[in-house]
Amino acid sequence: MTDRKAHRRPEGSNTVVEVGGVRFGHDPFPVIAGPASIESEGQLMDAAQIVAERGASILRGGTFRSPSSPYTFSGMGRSGLALLEEAGASVGLPTITEVAEGGDADLAAGHTDMLEIGPANMQNFELLRDVGRTGMPVLLNRGPSATIDEWLWSAEYLLAEGNDRIVMCERGIRTFEQSTQNTLDISAVPVVKDQSHLPVIVDPSHAAGNRSLVTPLALAAQGVGADGLAVEVHPSPDEALSDQLQQLDAHGFAALMDALGISRMRQAVDIVDREIVRLFARRRELSLAIGRVKAARGMPVQIPEREDELLAIIREEAVLQKLDPEYVERIFKEILAESRAAQWRDREGPPQLG
Amino acid sequence: MTDRKAHRRPEGSNTVVEVGGVRFGHDPFPVIAGPASIESEGQLMDAAQIVAERGASILRGGTFRSPSSPYTFSGMGRSGLALLEEAGASVGLPTITEVAEGGDADLAAGHTDMLEIGPANMQNFELLRDVGRTGMPVLLNRGPSATIDEWLWSAEYLLAEGNDRIVMCERGIRTFEQSTQNTLDISAVPVVKDQSHLPVIVDPSHAAGNRSLVTPLALAAQGVGADGLAVEVHPSPDEALSDQLQQLDAHGFAALMDALGISRMRQAVDIVDREIVRLFARRRELSLAIGRVKAARGMPVQIPEREDELLAIIREEAVLQKLDPEYVERIFKEILAESRAAQWRDREGPPQLG
Amino acid sequence: MTDRKAHRRPEGSNTVVEVGGVRFGHDPFPVIAGPASIESEGQLMDAAQIVAERGASILRGGTFRSPSSPYTFSGMGRSGLALLEEAGASVGLPTITEVAEGGDADLAAGHTDMLEIGPANMQNFELLRDVGRTGMPVLLNRGPSATIDEWLWSAEYLLAEGNDRIVMCERGIRTFEQSTQNTLDISAVPVVKDQSHLPVIVDPSHAAGNRSLVTPLALAAQGVGADGLAVEVHPSPDEALSDQLQQLDAHGFAALMDALGISRMRQAVDIVDREIVRLFARRRELSLAIGRVKAARGMPVQIPEREDELLAIIREEAVLQKLDPEYVERIFKEILAESRAAQWRDREGPPQLG
Amino acid sequence: MTDRKAHRRPEGSNTVVEVGGVRFGHDPFPVIAGPASIESEGQLMDAAQIVAERGASILRGGTFRSPSSPYTFSGMGRSGLALLEEAGASVGLPTITEVAEGGDADLAAGHTDMLEIGPANMQNFELLRDVGRTGMPVLLNRGPSATIDEWLWSAEYLLAEGNDRIVMCERGIRTFEQSTQNTLDISAVPVVKDQSHLPVIVDPSHAAGNRSLVTPLALAAQGVGADGLAVEVHPSPDEALSDQLQQLDAHGFAALMDALGISRMRQAVDIVDREIVRLFARRRELSLAIGRVKAARGMPVQIPEREDELLAIIREEAVLQKLDPEYVERIFKEILAESRAAQWRDREGPPQLG
């Protein structure tokens, strides 16, 4: 019985996959983004700027597509590859594209930084070997009916070619539930991370098939501990040649990145201030509740030892946080005074707002 | 065609379900916790203390069980109900228990604060009507092969009895993937919240069937925007009479609550205070960064209009939070003074801790 | 560990379930038929006559329905029960109806010959116990997401009440495939028969949700070795109050019974004659092939010992079939003469049609 | 919108796919049989003889395998192809083998009569195009999570290359049920036949993954109206290099063919003769029944117009079957004479055997 190279080894560390400076399995939640299909130079450049400006780590664009119908747009092919290379260079992002046929692998390897294996090809073992041999980083999508074990066996085909630069991508399995395109198997992330040393990311766009679910599912992926995200972004989704319903526009992508806390806006001072105020409100509620217990038990509003203990805790935390403890104590004395006042008011009747 | 009461109405607000002071759909991520089965007074009291001390909002314990085998432990029944009531009272938590038969509903209604409909009974319409008529808050689990639409139809049976105190609980659907007991359909949370006004929580214990996945899935649930959590906690899971693999012990539950950031600290004043201090630190960092930008551009440390605007925002938030705006302004003036001082110190050299 | 009574015992015989003279597990392919819902006396009497005249064994009609919506027709209830009893008596068929609530079981037991547990109630253990206690024969439908093992556990609840008069009914499981309402798990029939001693029938109407598939699936059920069938038949399916798409009309039911070989039509003389002629053609082909082998090996066209042997076999079979052997031999001598003539013709050139 | 060539055209006839004299969509239930993998000359020759002697129509053997593990036996490759050609020739059967890579298709096309696309490659569009271009008959397996529509789209890739020699093969879909390897979607047969003009066969070996289910599922396939069967047969399944549990041995295959009624007897004159005799018996019964009706109604035994009509039908069928109508009429006159005699005997008392 041959050991499986994709499996976690006792004492073994996790594999970090580096793609043009982005490190899956190390960096905090890198985001792969771009259009389902490269449709024109203008469309791709617009998409590249949208995703680069809002914090994406890697630019993705499909040029060798495998539509289920032989009669529909199957991608720009080789010419799309040149556009992708150019767009990545112009916005300073590494690039990735899907390859579906053996011949594409070598071709794409010369123009991009990472190759993607689509879900329909997860068990196209010839393609896996060809891609493995390029030595390029690989994004390996799970097939919609593949068990986790079969998915890891497909990774094994790449590993058997000496290529361990593999990022696993969960993008939904096929179930009876029809309100989403596929059912995102969010549990697959911790299961793969438990069994394997490879990084795992999530593609909420293909899982949901519906752009309104992309942000909540991305936050679920972040919560569950995924190593990143792959999403579809198009400058004008309604005019896209494929996957219209699931591609985000510039606004949607900005909102996603914002929600993920990657954008700078979330750290604006006003917002932190709002949070401080909310905590004051929370503290007041707790303090009033305690006040009522004290009243019920006939205890005084002010218990000096408790206040001393509390201020000691505060000073300790301030030092820990490298804040001036005098300054913090001043503020908390203010807070405690207000707290006592509120408790007094509460003893006299329903709480009065000042 | 009758309108469906479970559906979101245009302009309609979300339903908040209040259970013994806990408000699903309003409070931040309430956690229902307790043992799969009530096995003895000691076991239940231990479990109750574990979950109460670590911040659970509601105590759950099964006493009317419906095992798939007629020959296994089917719960303590009525006597378990009394134990649950007692345990809840002793730790100050409201309680919930599953009812599986019409007769149980009235019985349990007299002893608990919320009733649960198990997944196998999601389409037991007689039970739904009986439970609906009690007027009690209901936790309605999704059946493992129920579509979201069917699940909402089951809620409709409760609503048709005039009971809208419904919390939906996603706990996994049946798929081909066997590495988890069921496949947690995390997308169901935003889909239900889009279609309905009812709150939705997640039960990662039953979905995974494996305690090692409970915390990552709980974080996914928090990320996706669920309105809370239901988890199984047992003082000694290995000796549990059922569901051994998925119940958390005290240590596991503490780690979960810590990970969720709502651990025991959550309800303790000391901890809120610590959070306030940390936000001061965060604010100080942001303020210093802004100060450096101002310095680089030759701008003054104090920009009165900006401070006025900031104080206006603060007062507005204070009113919103029902806090005395004078009090809050006093504190923020203190904060701003310290902030300016820090910026001056920073202009003169590396920050000095006071 | 308690032995499971539903499991096949070594050396154990199969259970035969007798319902008003019909024996599941013994009679050749009994058919349960009737409308999804009893809607009126006229509708039920029409349906009863349709199914009785065309060879159904048991009349089924739903009167306690459990629609997923609380607002739709939920059956005629108790009054439908009286109609069913009357209709069964008038056409001389035993009857079956579904019960969904504990109270229905005793009520229905007084008016029908068999009770049905619907798929949504497969794990309504209270109902299983109530129905088990009636001692009545039970048709136990598989839930759409129930494993075979869980389905057998539900049978165990009936058996634990001392009731072994159980007929299992496969009616499709929930999968991703949407071209049928459920996916008929035809393999469940041999799997249950291997694991259990209970008879298993198939309900193609609910599995397919589409009347055009009922006959092919019924033939599959017959092929796989099912112990019978349950189908929905309505005098005017397009006007039915439920399940419009899947109910057969009189014509469709006649065609089904014909296809199953239960009707008399299939035995029409003309058809048998056509089959005889086709076999002559088949025999001629084989005979010519043999003739060519004989020619190639230089053997004579007529080998008397072979003809004698062949005629001996024929006479033997004739006696076995209770036919006059002289008569059969006369015919076969004619056949052999033609056969030799054909072989001669074949030696002289390409076969000539006479 | 391009019309889909795989779809049934109004008024269009079904496609018949001819493979070395075997006609899918026309012949009664042709059976493809042989080992999962060609392992050696001896193993293949033994398998070939087993299947040929018992009535298989096409010999199948895998030589380009695609195991999910890169470390296990992946087939004999090109040398297996030569063995397959030789074995087919020696037992007089056309052959089929699976191709998994573009290069295999042209290679295999020179040595076999039909190419097979495995389920993992159903959406390997490059392979579909390569195989389509060979112009060879193709057995197109359904992927385990493919909808019927997607499966027909894959056929479209072959049709788009001008190749309509396609036989669809249903072999199970992935569901939660684990008692079989996959869930045989028996309904897919009538659904595809309704939507498409292509023949559809069933592979019960891969669906069940368990040899004990092969015969009942094959009978279900025959019942549902499938156009044939594909089964795995190995001289010593327990020593097979793959798929041990599902391959039939010689005895199992004989039992299968017997059950299908097309076993070795099928091609043996003695058996056809026995069938003819049985039909005589069947005819005699029908004739006597009619005779009794005539007697009851006072009608004569011989009704010349009916006999003329009957002989006309017979002559017509004879011409259709390319038999000499004089010869057939001679035989049927003999049959009619016997029939009348039997009716006379019957009028005089209980039937007498001559």
pLDDT digits (tens, 9 = 90+) for B247-303: 999 999 999 988 887 433 333 444 456 557 667 777 777 777 777 777 777 777 777
- Per the listing, tokens 């293909």 go with A206
Res B337: pLDDT: 82
- CB of A71 less than 8 A from some CB of C: no
Contact (Cβ atoms closer than 8 angstroms) between residue C184 and residue D177: no
pLDDT digits (tens, 9 = 90+) for D311-327: 887 788 777 777 778 87
Res C108: pLDDT: 95
For chains A and C, CB pairs below 8 A equal 6
Position C354 pLDDT exceeds 50: no
Take residue D281 and report the two structure tokens written for it. Answer: 């018996």
Minimum Cα–Cα distance from D145: chain B residue:
B176
Res A275: pLDDT: 60
Res D273: pLDDT: 62
Contact (Cβ atoms closer than 8 angstroms) between residue B78 and residue B106: no
Position B353 pLDDT exceeds 50: no
B174/D178 CB distance under 8 A: no
pLDDT digits (tens, 9 = 90+) for B297-321: 777 777 777 788 778 877 887 787 7
pLDDT class of A281 with cuts at 50, 70, 90: confident
* Chain D nearest CA to B177, separation (Å): 7
pLDDT class of B354 with cuts at 50, 70, 90: very low
* Chain A nearest CA to D22, separation (Å): 29
* Chain A nearest CA to B183, separation (Å): 6
pLDDT digits (tens, 9 = 90+) for B216-247: 999 999 999 999 999 999 999 999 988 889 99
C100/B125 CB distance under 8 A: yes
Res C275: pLDDT: 59
- CB of C270 less than 8 A from some CB of D: yes
Res D353: pLDDT: 43
Position A325 pLDDT exceeds 90: no
Which DSSP helix (H) or strand (E) runs through C167?
A: strand C166-170
**Average pLDDT of the residues in C64-88:** 90
A175/C178 CB distance under 8 A: no
Of C69, C120, C160, the CB nearest to B156: C69
* Chain C nearest CA to A207, separation (Å): 14
Res A103: pLDDT: 83
Walk me through the domains of chain B, giving residue ranges and CATH numbers: 17-264 (3.20.20.70), 269-348 (1.20.59.10)
Comparing C-alpha atoms, which of C170, C155, C182 is closest to residue C220?
C170
| DSSP-assigned letter for residue B141 | E
pLDDT digits (tens, 9 = 90+) for D6-56: 999 877 789 999 999 899 998 878 999 999 999 999 999 999 999 998 889
- CB of A178 less than 8 A from some CB of D: no
Question: Which residue has better confidence, A211 or A306?
Answer: A211
Comparing C-alpha atoms, which of B33, B37, B171 is closest to residue B100?
B37
pLDDT class of A323 with cuts at 50, 70, 90: confident
Which residues of chain A neighbour C178 with C-beta distances below 8 Å?
178
pLDDT class of C352 with cuts at 50, 70, 90: very low
- Strand residues in B161-277 grouped as ranges (E): 166-170, 200-202, 229-232
Average confidence score pLDDT of chain A: 87
**Which pTM does this prediction carry?**
0.76
Question: Which residue has better confidence, A329 or B34?
Answer: B34
Position A265 pLDDT exceeds 60: no
- CB of A150 less than 8 A from some CB of D: yes
Contact (Cβ atoms closer than 8 angstroms) between residue D214 and residue D36: no
Res B231: pLDDT: 98
Comparing C-alpha atoms, which of A163, A147, A95 is closest to residue A155?
A163
Class of residue C140 by CB neighbours under 10 A (exposed 0-12, middle 13-18, buried 19+): buried
- CB of A281 less than 8 A from some CB of B: yes
- CB of D175 less than 8 A from some CB of B: yes
Res B267: pLDDT: 37
Which DSSP helix (H) or strand (E) runs through C281?
A: helix C269-296
**Average pLDDT of the residues in C68-93:** 92
pLDDT class of A97 with cuts at 50, 70, 90: very high
Res C273: pLDDT: 61
- CB of B144 less than 8 A from some CB of C: yes
Take residue C152 and report the two structure tokens written for it. Answer: 């057998």
Res C263: pLDDT: 33
Comparing C-alpha atoms, which of B85, B82, B34 is closest to residue B58?
B34
Q: How many CB atoms lie within 10 A of CB D143?
A: 25
Contact (Cβ atoms closer than 8 angstroms) between residue D69 and residue D241: no
The interface predicted TM-score of the complex, written ipTM, equals 0.73
Residue C249 CB contacts under 8 Å (≥ 6 apart), including other chains: C233, C234, C235, C236, C237
Which residues of chain B neighbour C123 with C-beta distances below 8 Å?
66, 68, 120-121
Q: How many CB atoms lie within 10 A of CB D7?
A: 14
pLDDT digits (tens, 9 = 90+) for C297-339: 777 777 777 778 778 877 887 777 777 788 778 878 888 887 7
Position D343 pLDDT exceeds 90: no
Of A187, A208, A279, the CB nearest to B180: A187
**Average pLDDT of the residues in B329-347:** 80
pLDDT class of D65 with cuts at 50, 70, 90: confident
C184/D188 CB distance under 8 A: no
- CB of C347 less than 8 A from some CB of D: no
CA within 13 Å, CB half, D214? 27
Burial B325-350 (b: 16+ CB within 10 A, else e): bebbeebbeebbebbbebbebbeeee
* Chain A nearest CA to B277, separation (Å): 6
For chains A and B, CB pairs below 8 A equal 226
A126/D100 CB distance under 8 A: yes
**Average pLDDT of the residues in A128-152:** 96
Res B274: pLDDT: 53
- CB of C350 less than 8 A from some CB of D: no
Contact (Cβ atoms closer than 8 angstroms) between residue C221 and residue C259: no
* Chain A nearest CA to B191, separation (Å): 8
Question: Which residue has better confidence, D51 or B55?
Answer: D51
Res B2: pLDDT: 58
**DSSP secondary structure of B8-37:** PPTTPPPP-EEETTEEETTSS--EEEE-SS
Rounded distance, CA C56 to CA C248, Å? 13
Position A342 pLDDT exceeds 60: yes
Q: What angle do CA A82, A88, A94 make, to 5 degrees?
A: 115
- CB of D195 less than 8 A from some CB of A: no
C175/D175 CB distance under 8 A: yes
Which residues of chain A neighbour D121 with C-beta distances below 8 Å?
123-124
Position C266 pLDDT exceeds 70: no
B100/C125 CB distance under 8 A: yes
Rounded distance, CA C140 to CA C121, Å? 9
B223/A220 CB distance under 8 A: yes
Q: How many residues does chain C have?
A: 354
Take residue A129 and report the two structure tokens written for it. Answer: 């070997």
**C-alpha D345 chain-centroid distance:** 44
- CB of A183 less than 8 A from some CB of D: no
**Average pLDDT of the residues in D306-310:** 78
Burial A35-65 (b: 16+ CB within 10 A, else e): bbbbbeeebbbbbbebbbebbbbbbbbbbbb
Rounded distance, CA C53 to CA A150, Å? 54
**Average pLDDT of the residues in B115-124:** 94
For chain A, the three-class secondary structure string (H helix, E strand, C coil) is CCCCCCECCCCCCCCCEEECCEEECCCCCCEEEECCCCCCHHHHHHHHHHHHHCCCCEEECCCCCCCCCCCCCCCCCHHHHHHHHHHHHHHCCCEEEECCCHHHHHHHHCCCCEEEECHHHCCCHHHHHHHHHHCCCEEEECCCCCCHHHHHHHHHHHHHCCCCCEEEEECCECCCCCCCCCECECCHHHHHHHHECCCEEECHHHHHCCHHHHHHHHHHHHHHCCCCEEEEECCCHHHCCCCCCCCECHHHHHHHHHHCCCCCHHHCHHHHHHHHHHHHHHHHHHHHHHHHHHHHCCCCCCCHHHHHHHHHHHHHHHHHCCCCHHHHHHHHHHHHHHHHHHHHHHHHCCCCCC
Which residues of chain B neighbour A265 with C-beta distances below 8 Å?
none
- CB of D338 less than 8 A from some CB of C: yes
Position C159 pLDDT exceeds 60: yes
Position C1 pLDDT exceeds 70: no
pLDDT class of B149 with cuts at 50, 70, 90: very high
Percent of chain C with pLDDT over 70: 92
Rounded distance, CA A233 to CA A205, Å? 9
Comparing C-alpha atoms, which of A67, D225, A221, D70 is closest to residue C223?
D225
Res D267: pLDDT: 35
A102/D126 CB distance under 8 A: yes
Take residue A287 and report the two structure tokens written for it. Answer: 């303090």
Res C93: pLDDT: 94
pLDDT digits (tens, 9 = 90+) for D255-279: 998 888 643 333 344 445 655 766 7
Minimum Cα–Cα distance from C177: chain A residue:
A176
Res B336: pLDDT: 81
Res A349: pLDDT: 60
Query: Which residue(s) pair with B7 in the sheet?
Result: B196
Of B191, B207, B272, the CB nearest to A179: B191
Percent of chain B with pLDDT over 70: 92
Contact (Cβ atoms closer than 8 angstroms) between residue B34 and residue B250: no
pLDDT digits (tens, 9 = 90+) for A214-247: 999 999 999 999 999 999 999 999 999 888 899 9
Lowest mean pLDDT across A301-315, B109-123, D44-58: A301-315
Chains that touch A (3 or more CB pairs under 8 A): B, C, D
Position C218 pLDDT exceeds 90: yes
Position A115 pLDDT exceeds 90: yes
Q: How many CB atoms lie within 10 A of CB B202?
A: 30
Comparing C-alpha atoms, which of A224, B311, A241 is closest to residue A232?
A241
- CB of A68 less than 8 A from some CB of C: no
